Structure 1
Amino acid sequence: MIINPVVMAGGVGSRLWPLSRAAFPKQYQVLVENEGSLTMLQQTFARLGGLSLGTSQLICNQEQRFLAAEQVRRVGEEVPACAGMTAAGLDIVLEPMGRNTAPAVIIAALRLQQQGVDHPMLVLSADHAIADEAGFRAAIVKASALANEGYVVTLGIQPNFACTGYGYIECGEAVGGYGDDSAAEQGLMVNDFVEKPDEATATAYLASNNYLWNSGMFMMRPSVVIEEAQAYCSALLAQCRATVASATLDLDFVRLPEAQFAQCDNISIDYAIMEHTQKAVVVPVNCGWSDVGDLNALYETNARDEQGNVCQGDTLVNQSRNCFVKSTSRLIALQGVEGMAIVETKDAVLVAPLAQAQDIKQLVTQLKLQGRDELVHQREVYRPWGSYDSVDSGPNYQVKRITVNPGARLSVQKHKYRAEHWVVVEGVAKVHVDGVDHVLQANDSVYIPKGVVHCLANETKLPLHLVEVQSGSYLGEDDIERLDDVYGRC
């Protein structure tokens, strides 16, 4: 049976700060160790290999559009099972702002309906970890048969401990045989969706053996989504119709209009439809699932050493147990600690007991109240052409390490307040400055006075690395006047 994946990649992952930031959230990072060093988004697409896929949609924030497209392109090239799932082989739908999951799912259904498609759509989050991918795919096949019969299907995870961080599903009677196989394993009607319980209630749920974790993964036909939306959230459906009607193409992206999308209710698919529909069915699955929602979940998901530690990056651990230690740029040394999370990024360090991982959102609230840039950005910033890392700054100067991807180019631009000096470290740079072309190799440099039109390109098949020294009275990123840009940012 054909399945239409809808992958939602709009979350921020604030409880994983400082790893996850608004400008570089967890789904675009390698947080769960895997053989191919795939990001969570890439793993989401990779585990669909082997299924019969139809129209695929990736829904993400417009600010991450080039990052998302590049990651999908890479997984399509590097993972044989995903050879057809390149950025050109799916629709990347851009949200101008966050509006939770209900608008995303309804818009995806409306777009499939526009194309005359009514095979089941598989709704997934781009930031989940799944250990048993074969078991996951088997559950998807079962769910697709139920969805084809008109049910609204969710995947329920078999709980293995009394978790207070997940919602629960109360299971009802078995659904009879479906499709052409009356002996097929049954799904279960959903009696109720339950919010995150306290510890005593979660313990009771576990003991009853009648509750499953709500995974947030769904499968239903587009026409059924629209029918249920008409019944239970008709105003939101009308807002989504207006949004889809005014959507435009921007390069390889589908851009949702800000004016219409802003009118969509900020509501989850659970609240909008799942808690009201009479067609809800759950398929139980035990596939080593985690939403990797906080540092403790990240600790539980990754492999541990003999002392129970998860160590990633440059770490040195002695007489310490059951810790999560992640370094991104320098050595972290531990001595005589237990049950701690220590996370180092280039601009922030977090130290917290793993048992208080859920409470990191309180730190995030304080960062927001203080207007700290560390809440939104990491020091390394990704652009459609590559990335830059602000390694040093002071009054009237800033130093960046710049990487330009093979075949990529920066916009034709000029600056009003700053001058720049570029030094090539590795690779070959083609530079245009004030009407003159230069080809620079390692150890070559060029000076760009303020107000002068310039651009930079990497026309080779290898990455280009250079150091940029900026000087001037104002060094903000908004001091860029783009005159021409292959990425449509003028």
Structure 2
Amino acid sequence: MFNDCIIMAGGSGTRLWPASNSKTPKQFLSVNNDGSFFNDAVDRALAVTGGDGRVIVIAGKTHVPHIIRVCKKYSDNDKRRMVLIPEPLAKNTAPAIACGAFYAGGKNREDRNVLVLTSDHIIQPLAVFQADADAASAFSAKGNLAIFGIPPRGPETGYGYIETGESLADPGTAAAETAVYKVLSFREKPSPEKAEQFLAAGNYYWNSGMFGFSSRFILEEYRRNAPEIFRAFEKLAAPGEEAYTVQGGIRVLDKWPGLEAAYHAAPGISVDYAIAEKCSQTVMAAARFEWFDVGSWDEYARLASAPSSPGRSSGEAPGAEVYTQDSSGCFVHADLPVALCGVDDLIVVVQSGKDGCPGSVLISKKGATQGVKNIVEQIKAAGRTELL
């Protein structure tokens, strides 16, 4: 079991534009009738840290209101286990994780076994994830970087890959059913031909972006492999109670002296480049849980479509108000009422601007929503970044 969990909740998630944007990114979109991607991540964090482990959320300043809003569902005891650290700048994942690791260790650099979770993936069932996390925890507690690898479902070119070597013996945990391997290398997002080769080889896995470590181990890796980041954050003093405010029952570390200076000093780089690819003590737990990145509206529509209601479209995101006539196979995600007449197999996304971004609409044929990334580039080129 892990002592603490860091949830990375920053980013803008433009692959699900326009519903996902800089003010309301993907992790706060609803994925079921109970909550958001972020809620599911918190549920995982609470489960793998026992009854008293901490949940450390790293997010942008603009995300704080969303986090407070979606965390209303949690008990007072669960909220007491949470701390939210607003990032003064977006500097990619390596500085964010360094910040969380320094916070976890505290002023005495206590050694904590820490799990890092993404906040915008679908992972199920929770019990299987817990068992796989227990296996990773046993290895990370003994001085390894423990990565979660996803068995590939096809020759996907949109993910990085992990090349694995020998199978490793369980160092002492009840989660022996989870296979753990020595990591040989990390591979960039491949060409279609290379992805086919990885799939045929049988020892390559998708990189989930989730991993565990002991706080002392990872800070030593930062000291050796990312010294600029280490030096920037090691100057931080342990925050006193005056550094926190309480919002919605959650402690928000919004007055940590020196945090802004640390982020300004640290280079912006991913933890993969800064640490993981350079670490020689890396193992991979082969996930037995189901994992979906939800990187397009087609994928979102498939996973998040609610049961149809009389007079409504057969595919609606939770909360959408949709009316149809002679239309079929459409999916609608909208915060305004939408009517469809005589159209088939469309994905319609409407953002009214209630979240502070300008209103915008996406209409796409089903199967074509990967093109949203090109639309986003066109918007940037047009100088309309306020739409993002």
Conserved? CA contact 2:134–2:173, under 8 Å: no
Q: Does 1:60 align with 2:59?
A: yes
- What is the CA distance between 1:330 and its match in structure 2? 1.4
2:118 — aligned with what? Answer: 125
Conserved? CA contact 1:170–1:211, under 8 Å: yes
Cα 1:352–1:285 shift into 2, 3 Å: same
CA distance in 2, matches of 1:375, 1:254: 29
CA distance in 2, matches of 1:27, 1:39: 7
Cα 1:354–1:216 shift into 2, 3 Å: farther
2:73 — aligned with what? Answer: 75
Q: Does 1:249 align with 2:251?
A: no
1:258 — aligned with what? Answer: 260
Structure 2 regions of 5+ residues with no counterpart?
A: 247-251, 353-358
Conserved? CA contact 1:110–1:244, under 8 Å: no
Conserved? CA contact 1:364–1:375, under 8 Å: no
Cα 1:201–1:332 shift into 2, 3 Å: farther
1:29 — aligned with what? Answer: 29
Cα 1:238–1:358 shift into 2, 3 Å: farther
Cα 1:300–1:192 shift into 2, 3 Å: farther
- Structure number with the bigger relative contact order (C-alpha 8 A, sep ≥ 6) is 2
1:7 — aligned with what? Answer: 7
Q: Identify which of 181, 184, 196 aligns with 1:188.
A: 181
1:95 — aligned with what? Answer: 87
1:326 — aligned with what? Answer: 333
Cα 1:294–1:202 shift into 2, 3 Å: same
Cα 1:303–1:209 shift into 2, 3 Å: farther
CA distance in 1, matches of 2:291, 2:178: 21
Letter in 2 for 1:326: H
Conserved? CA contact 2:135–2:176, under 8 Å: no
What TM-score do the two structures reach when normalised by structure 2? 0.85
SS of 2:235's equivalent in the other structure is helix
Which entry has the higher C-alpha Rg, 1 or 2?
A: 1
SS of 2:19's equivalent in the other structure is coil
Percentage identity across paired residues of the two chains: 29
- What is the CA distance between 1:132 and its match in structure 2? 1.8
- What is the CA distance between 1:159 and its match in structure 2? 1.5
- What is the CA distance between 1:309 and its match in structure 2? 6.3
CA distance in 2, matches of 1:267, 1:232: 12
Letter in 1 for 2:243: L
2:376 — aligned with what? Answer: 364
Describe the superposition over 1:330-358 as per-residue Cα deviations: whole angstroms up to 9, x where unpaired.
124163533x4321222221022444433
Describe the superposition over 1:58-90 as per-residue Cα deviations: whole angstroms up to 9, x where unpaired.
111112223323322x1313xxxxx6321x432
1:139 — aligned with what? Answer: 132
CA distance in 2, matches of 1:317, 1:150: 61
Structure 1 regions of 5+ residues with no counterpart?
A: 78-82, 377-490
Conserved? CA contact 1:103–1:264, under 8 Å: yes
Q: Identify which of 270, 273, 276 aligns with 1:271.
A: 273
1:105 — aligned with what? Answer: 97
CA distance in 2, matches of 1:342, 1:94: 33
Cα 1:207–1:109 shift into 2, 3 Å: same
SS of 2:232's equivalent in the other structure is helix
Letter in 2 for 1:70: R
2:223 — aligned with what? Answer: 230
Instruction: Give the root-mean-square deviation of aligned CA atoms.
Output: 2.7
Conserved? CA contact 2:131–2:175, under 8 Å: no
What TM-score do the two structures reach when normalised by structure 1? 0.68
Conserved? CA contact 1:309–1:325, under 8 Å: no
1:434 — aligned with what? Answer: none
Cα 1:184–1:298 shift into 2, 3 Å: closer
CA distance in 2, matches of 1:39, 1:118: 32
Cα 1:334–1:292 shift into 2, 3 Å: farther
Conserved? CA contact 2:146–2:283, under 8 Å: yes
